A and B are shown apart, each in its own frame.
Chain A
Amino acid sequence: MTADIRVMREDLRPPARPPRRHFISIKDVTRDDIERLLATARTFERSLEREVKKLPTLKGRLVINVFYEASTRTSSSFELAAKRLSADTMSIKSSGSSVEKGESLKDTAITLGAYDPDVIVIRHPQIGAPNLVTRVTEAHIVNAGDGKHQHPTQALLDLYTMREELGRLEGLHVAIVGDVLHSRVARSLIQALALTGAHVTLVGPPALLPRGIEAMGCEATTDIGAIAAADVVYVLRMQRERMQEGANYVPSLREYTARWGVTPERVRPGQKVMHPGPMNRGVEIDPRVADHADALIETQVRAGLVTRMAVLYDLLTTGPVGVKNETALEVA
Chain B
Amino acid sequence: MLFARAGSKENIVVRGARVLDPVQGVDAVLDVRIDDGVIAALGSGLDTNSHRVIDADGLLLAPAFVDPHVHLRTPGREDEETIASGTAAGAAGGYCAILAMPNTDPVVDSAATLGALVDTARAEAEIAVGFLAAITKGHGGSELTEMGELAEAGAAGFTDDGVPVTSAGLMRRALQYGSLTGRRLALHCEETTLSRSGQMHEGEVSAELGFTGYPSVAESLMVERDLALAAYERQPLHLLHLSAWESVQALRRARGEGVQATGEVTPHHLCLTDEAVRSLDPNVKMNPPLRSASDRTALIEGLKDGTITAIATDHAPHARHEKDVPFEAAPFGVTGLETAFAALYTRLVEPGVVPLETLLERMSAGPARAYGLDEPKISVGAAANLVLLDLNGTYRVTAESFRSRSVNSWLLGQTVKAKVRATIAAGRLAFSS
Interface residues of A (CB under 8 A from B): 27, 104-106, 124, 126-129, 131-132, 146-150, 184, 187, 210-213, 215-216, 244
Contact = CB atoms under 8 A, between A and B. Distances in A.
B210 A147 contact: yes
Contact of B325 (A106, A147, A148, A216): A106
16 contacts: A104-B325, A127-B327, A127-B328, A128-B327, A131-B326, A132-B324, A132-B325, A147-B210, A149-B211, A187-B208, A210-B213, A211-B202, A211-B203, A212-B204, A212-B208, A215-B207
B203 A127 contact: no
B211 A131 contact: no
A189 B212 CA distance: 19
A106 B211 CA distance: 21
Nearest to B211: A127
B210 A150 contact: yes
Given A127-B209, A216-B208, 12 more contacts: A104-B325, A126-B327, A127-B199, A127-B327, A128-B282, A128-B326, A131-B280, A148-B210, A149-B209, A149-B210, A149-B211, A187-B210
A211 B207 contact: yes
A216 B324 CA distance: 29
B250 to A, nearest CB: 21
B408 interface: no
Given A210-B213, A211-B203, A126 B326 contact: yes
Interface in B164-209: 197, 199, 202-209
Contacts of A126: 325-329
Contacts of B210: 127, 147-150, 184, 187
Contact of B326 (A146, A148, A184, A187): A146
A281 B418 CA distance: 62
A129 B209 CA distance: 13
B213 A128 contact: no
Tier of interface size on chain B? 20 to 34
A128 B205 CA distance: 14
Contacts of A146: 326
Task: Give 5 closest A-B pairs by Cβ, nearest first.
Answer: A148-B210, A128-B327, A212-B204, A210-B207, A128-B280
A148 B280 contact: no
B279 to A, nearest CB: 8
Nearest to B292: A212
Contacts of A211: 202-203, 207, 213, 215
B74 to A, nearest CB: 25
Nearest to A216: B208
A289 B20 CA distance: 75
Given A104-B321, A127-B280, A128-B280, A216 B207 contact: yes
Contacts of B324: 104, 106, 132
Contacts of A213: 204, 207-208
Nearest to B285: A128
A104 B321 CA distance: 9
Contacts of A215: 204, 207-208
A201 to B, nearest CB: 16
Nearest to B280: A128
B324 to A, nearest CB: 5
Interface string B310-340: 0000000000010011111100000000000
A106 B321 CA distance: 9
Candidate in B210, B212, B325 with the most chain A CB atoms within 10 angstroms: B210
A128 B325 CA distance: 8
Nearest to B330: A128
A234 to B, nearest CB: 17
Contact of A212 (B197, B207, B282, B327): B207
B206 A210 contact: yes
A150 B209 CA distance: 8
Contacts of B206: 210, 212
A265 B212 CA distance: 34
Nearest to A184: B210
Nearest to A25: B209
A88 B153 CA distance: 67
Contacts of B280: 127-128, 131
Nearest to A190: B208
Interface string B206-228: 11111111010000000000000
A147 B208 contact: no
Nearest to B279: A131
Contacts of B212: 148
Contacts of B209: 127, 149, 187
Contacts of B205: 212
A82 to B, nearest CB: 24
Contacts of A131: 280, 326
Contacts of A212: 202-208
B102 to A, nearest CB: 30
A132 to B, nearest CB: 5
Interface string B132-151: 00000000000000000000
A127 B202 CA distance: 16
A212 B291 CA distance: 14
A194 to B, nearest CB: 11
A146 B327 CA distance: 11
Nearest to A127: B328
A210 to B, nearest CB: 4
Contact of A105 (B197, B204, B207, B325): B325
Contacts of B199: 127
A215 B278 CA distance: 15
Contacts of A150: 210
B207 A124 contact: no
Nearest to A106: B324
Contacts of B204: 212-213, 215-216
A332 B289 CA distance: 50
B212 to A, nearest CB: 8
Nearest to B278: A27
A127 B210 CA distance: 8
A104 B204 CA distance: 31
B399 to A, nearest CB: 14
Contacts of A210: 206-207, 213
A16 B392 CA distance: 44
A147 B328 contact: yes
Interface string B401-424: 000000000000000000000000
A187 B211 CA distance: 11
A105 B203 CA distance: 29
